[in-house]
Amino acid sequence: MAPHHKRVRAGRLAAGAVVVAASAALASGPRAGVGVVPADDARAPAPVPAPATTPAPVPAPATTPAGGERPPAFGAFLGSDARGVARMPLFSHWLGGAELRVGHTYLPGHRWRDIEGAPGFLDAWAHWRNQDPDRMLVLNVPLQERNEEGVSDDEVRRLLRQGAAGEFDHHFRALAERLVGLGVPDTVLVLGWEMNGTTYTHRCGPDPQAWKTYWNRIVTTMRSVPGQRFRFDFAPSRGRDAVPWTECYPGDDTVDIIGMDSYDQPAGMPFDRQVDEPYGLRAHVEFAKAHGKAVSYPEWGLFRNGDNPEYMRRMLAWIAEHRPLYHTLTDYCPHGVWRCADNPRSAELYRSFLAGGADGATPAPASTPTPGPAAPAGPAVPPPPEGCTPLDLGSWVEHWLGGKLCLRFDWWSRDR
C-alpha cells in the first residue's frame, strides 16, 4: 500500500466530469464545500470494519530492551510533502516526547519527473534528516510511472522488460544525484514496494525474472553515483498475495534490508495466523536471517478488523522481539492512531508503549497538543480544512486547478 491505499481509480473522462461539477460548485461559494488545496494526503475511504477478534490476552511488551539497548528506530508516515515533516514534532509531543528517528515519505508515481525527485519535493525531508546524524530518512521509490493507474499485465510485462534492458536507468541516476546533492546520500530506498501484489504498475507477477533484472540495474545505477551510501530495502506485503514474494527476491548483492508491509488484514484473521501463514511474519524473519539481512516494517497498522488493540499489542511485541532496523506506522484512517479518531483503544496502547522519552523506557501519560501552526523545515503548506477530503484527479487536472480539489461531503447539513 502507498499513501493512497488501493484508491478507487477514475479515467480522465470521469475526472473531467468532476472538474466541471466542481467548477460550478466553486462558483456557488463556500456553502458548496469545495476548494483547492495543495496536493498531498489524499485519504482512502475507510472500509467497513469487521468485528475485532479477541483472542487470549497477550502481555504488552516490556519497553526497556534487554541489556539496555536502544529500541528500534521508529517513525510514522504523516504525509508525503513538507506537512509530513511539520507534523513530526506534534506526533512526538503526543507520545510524551518520544524521539522519532525515522522520517518516511514517498515519491509520487505519476510521471518520471516525479520519480526523479522533483525540485523542492525532498528539500524539507533532507533538512530534517541533516539536523541530527542519528536520524534516518526512508524513501519509497516507484519503479514505473502511472504507478496506480490500473495498467494491464501485458503492459507491465513490456515495461519490466524495457527496464531490464536499461531503458529507464537515467531516471534513477537522476534521483541518486538529487539525493546526494541534498546531503542525504545514506537514504534508505524502498524500491518497488509490495511488488508481490496487484495494485502497482511496478508489480513483479507479470514477469518475475525481468523484475529482478530491473531491480539489479536500478541498484547498480544508483550505486555508481559518487558519494552515495544508499541502503536498498526489498519490502513485499505480508502473505502470498498475487505471487510468492520470494520469487521476486533479486539477490543478496543488491539488497541491504528485507522489509515487510504488514497491516491487520484480512478481516477475521488473528495475529497468530498473520505470523504463521505462508510468506507471513515468521517466514519473513527466517528468510532475512538465512540471507544475513536486517529486517524492517516500512508500513504497518490497523485495517480490516477496525480498532483492534490485540493486533496493536501483538505487533508491538513482535517488533520488540525481532528488533527491525526501523518501523513506521501508517498514520491515517483506517490504519492510524494519531490522525485517525476511529481507533481510540489501539491509539492508547500504541501511545502507552512508545511514550516516555527517547529510549521508550518509562511510559508516561502525554497530553495531546493543541493544534496550531508548526514551523516546517521547508516551505509551509497549509493542511486541508477540517473534514475536507482532497480528491485525486490526476496530475494534469491538479496542474490546471493549482492543487488538489478539496470536497466536503457534509456540506448539505452544515448551518442547518
CB atoms within 10 A of CB 276: 11
HSE at residue 409, side-chain half, CA atoms within 13 A, is 4
Active-site entry in 99, 194, 310, 398: 194
How far, in Å, CA of 24 to CA of 246, rounded? 51
HSE at residue 72, side-chain half, CA atoms within 13 A, is 22
User: Exposed, middle or buried, 124 (CB in 10 Å: 0-12/13-18/19+)?
Assistant: buried
How far, in Å, CA of 129 to CA of 133, rounded? 7
Active-site entry in 99, 148, 299, 398: 299
Q: Are 360 and 353 in contact (CB under 8 A)?
A: yes
* Among 258, 157, 256, CA closest to 204: 157
Q: Are 82 and 382 in contact (CB under 8 A)?
A: no
Question: ω into residue 278 within 30 of 0, thus cis?
Answer: no
194 in catalytic set:
yes
Q: Are 285 and 321 in contact (CB under 8 A)?
A: no
Could you tell me the sign of the dihedral formed by the alpha carbons of 74, 79, 84, 88, in that order? negative
247 in catalytic set:
no
For residue 414, give the 3-state DSSP assignment. coil
Active-site residues, by number, are 194, 299
